[in-house]
């Protein structure tokens, strides 16, 4: 059933929070403890609060266009609508872009928001994934800058650790990112965003690495710049693994990305074996050591263990197999898993289609996303995991209503005044369409939604009061999502 919903409602109530210890940075043997100060709040009786037990975040760097995805404008002039048409979905009255036919058949499981809006048409990964108040271009490539705010997955880890009291760690790390460290596979400096930031490096995601090569020639990002992109095709034997040492390509002390947990714990294990000091570890340290050196994480990452039919359903692409790995990690006990569709290779633009817009969408970006996202939703549903797994697909912004016809293959440029996103599971609505844009898809006409609102709603569904705070380096309370508000229009 289609529901067109209106204005934002109220914030949810709070949740109880307790003082506890957390496992801090990596010390002599990769472990240490640090005291934290907690805040108090009241509990909530909201039926949707805490509905999601876990979350899969799909981040599409570069930002997809709203016109060719979830807000087509078939009656608009060709210079606005472009080369592609619209198709009906299985929700009456809701049409989406013609190159998303599989998603059209699962629309009754999804929430589509057509009215995302904010004032920063830049690649602000930090703005899209944290509560930072505005895009700050001066620190966008400085993940360790003192003004950076923590990633949503890092905050989930932080609050979950506080909720459990810190005495027993989960079976898998609570904050995992696939398939490689964001920004590590192209010529541009890695951007800030998916890091613990003010909370400290111990709340960075556990990153994986992909060392394979692409098997399929992707449409050129710029004229004459085509290359084999693994996001379009990989070998069936290619695998993910825990990331190796990560070194910034410019200012190493400033960028300060942590080395891989695997390397550090393997070193710790050798030291412990040599000096026979395992008996001196307290219970928490032993639990953390066991967690990160056990085979469970490696087995969950290994999507080659899946039947070939399942792998084929997701698509033999790096994005598709990473989505499959995200399901395996959640099924094995993971809390928050991020799949980055990031730029890969020289002159890579990912979803940043300033050039060759229509060929890249038609032959690469849309079919790969259509297949993998649909497979993920149906797989979670078949395993009875969808109701408790929140799936978010987000990006920095949208793209311009008018097509730049000067570019070969056309181009759409950055646009943040109106864009679309899609969500599913974990308490999000089903067959739900929220918001409306004008006839050109350039401005919001009904129900504006901030990316901060999406974060606030996600925290609510994951059982964390959006009005909670976290401490900055001086211990001052910082608002979890900045100005974000819970949006009940999105909920089931």
Q: What is the pTM of this model?
A: 0.85
Strand partners, 217: 228
DSSP state of 268: H
> What are the DSSP E strand ranges found in 268-323?
none
Q: What is the number of H-type helices and E-type strands within the chain?
A: 13, 20
Nearest to 131 by CA among 458, 359, 492: 458
3-490 classified as CATH 3.40.720.10: yes
Query: Who's near 413: CB < 8 A, 6+ residues apart?
Result: 354, 399, 400, 404
pLDDT tens-digit profile, the chain (492 residues): 333 333 333 222 333 322 322 333 333 333 333 333 333 343 456 899 999 999 999 999 999 999 999 999 999 999 999 999 999 999 999 999 999 999 999 999 999 999 999 999 999 999 999 999 999 888 988 988 989 999 999 999 999 999 888 667 788 999 999 999 998 998 777 889 999 999 999 999 999 999 999 999 999 988 778 889 999 999 999 999 998 544 333 333 323 333 444 444 444 444 444 433 333 344 444 545 555 666 899 999 999 999 999 999 999 999 999 999 999 999 999 999 999 999 888 666 799 999 999 999 999 999 999 999 999 999 999 999 999 999 999 999 999 999 999 988 999 999 999 999 999 999 999 999 999 999 999 999 999 999 999 999 999 999 999 999 999 999 999 999 999 999 999 998
* Nearest Cα residue to 334 out of 388, 261, 395, 393: 388
Count of Cβ atoms closer than 10 Å to residue 253 Cβ: 7
The per-residue pLDDT for 275 is 37
């Amino acid at each position: 059933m289609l529901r067109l919903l209106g204005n934002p409602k109220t914030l949810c109530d709070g949740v109880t929070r307790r003082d506890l210890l957390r496992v801090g940075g990596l010390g002599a043997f990769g472990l240490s403890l640090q005291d934290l100060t907690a805040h108090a709040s009241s509990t909530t009786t909201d039926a949707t609060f805490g509905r999601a037990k876990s979350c899969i975040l799909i981040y599409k760097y570069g930002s997809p266009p709203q016109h060719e995805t979830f807000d087509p404008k078939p009656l608009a002039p060709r210079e606005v609508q472009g080369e592609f048409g619209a198709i009906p979905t299985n929700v009456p009255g809701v049409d989406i872009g013609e190159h998303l036919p599989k998603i059209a058949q699962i629309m009754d499981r999804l929430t589509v928001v057509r009215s995302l809006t904010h004032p920063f048409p830049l690649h602000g990964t930090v703005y899209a994934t944290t509560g930072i108040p505005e895009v700050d271009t001066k620190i966008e490539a400085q993940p360790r800058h003192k003004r950076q705010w923590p990633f949503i997955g890092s905050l989930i880890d932080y609050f979950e650790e506080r909720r459990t009291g810190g005495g027993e760690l989960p079976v898998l790390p609570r904050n995992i990112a696939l398939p490689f460290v964001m920004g590590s596979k192209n010529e541009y400096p890695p951007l800030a965003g998916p890091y613990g930031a003010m909370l400290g490096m111990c709340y960075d995601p556990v990153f994986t690495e992909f060392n394979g090569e692409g098997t399929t020639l992707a449409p050129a990002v710029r004229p004459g710049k085509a290359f084999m992109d693994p996001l379009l095709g990989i070998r069936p034997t290619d695998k993910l693994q825990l990331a190796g040492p990560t070194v910034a390509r410019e200012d190493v002390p400033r960028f300060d990305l942590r080395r891989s947990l695997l390397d550090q714990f393997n070193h710790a294990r050798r030291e412990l074996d040599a000096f026979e000091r395992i008996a001196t570890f307290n219970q928490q340290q032993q639990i953390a050591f066991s967690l990160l050196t056990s085979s469970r994480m490696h087995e969950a990452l290994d999507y080659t263990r899946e039947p070939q039919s399942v792998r084929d359903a997701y698509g033999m692409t790096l994005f598709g197999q990473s989505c499959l790995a995200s399901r395996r990690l959640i099924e094995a006990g993971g809390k928050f898993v991020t799949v980055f569709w990031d730029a890969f290779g020289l002159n890579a633009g990912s979803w940043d289609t300033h050039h060759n817009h229509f060929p890249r969408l038609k032959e690469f970006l849309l079919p790969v996303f259509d297949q993998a996202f649909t497979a993920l939703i149906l797989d979670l549903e078949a395993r009875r995991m969808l109701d408790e797994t929140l799936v978010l697909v987000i990006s920095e912004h949208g793209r311009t209503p008018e097509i730049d016809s000067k570019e070969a293959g056309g181009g759409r440029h950055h646009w943040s005044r109106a864009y679309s996103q899609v969500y599913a599971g974990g308490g999000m609505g089903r067959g739900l369409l929220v918001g409306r844009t004008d006839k050109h898809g350039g401005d919001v006409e009904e129900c504006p939604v901030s990316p901060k609102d999406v974060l606030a709603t996600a925290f609510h569904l994951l059982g964390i009061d959006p009005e909670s705070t976290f401490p900055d380096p001086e211990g001052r309370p910082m608002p979890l999502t900045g100005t974000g508000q819970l949006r009940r229009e999105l909920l089931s």
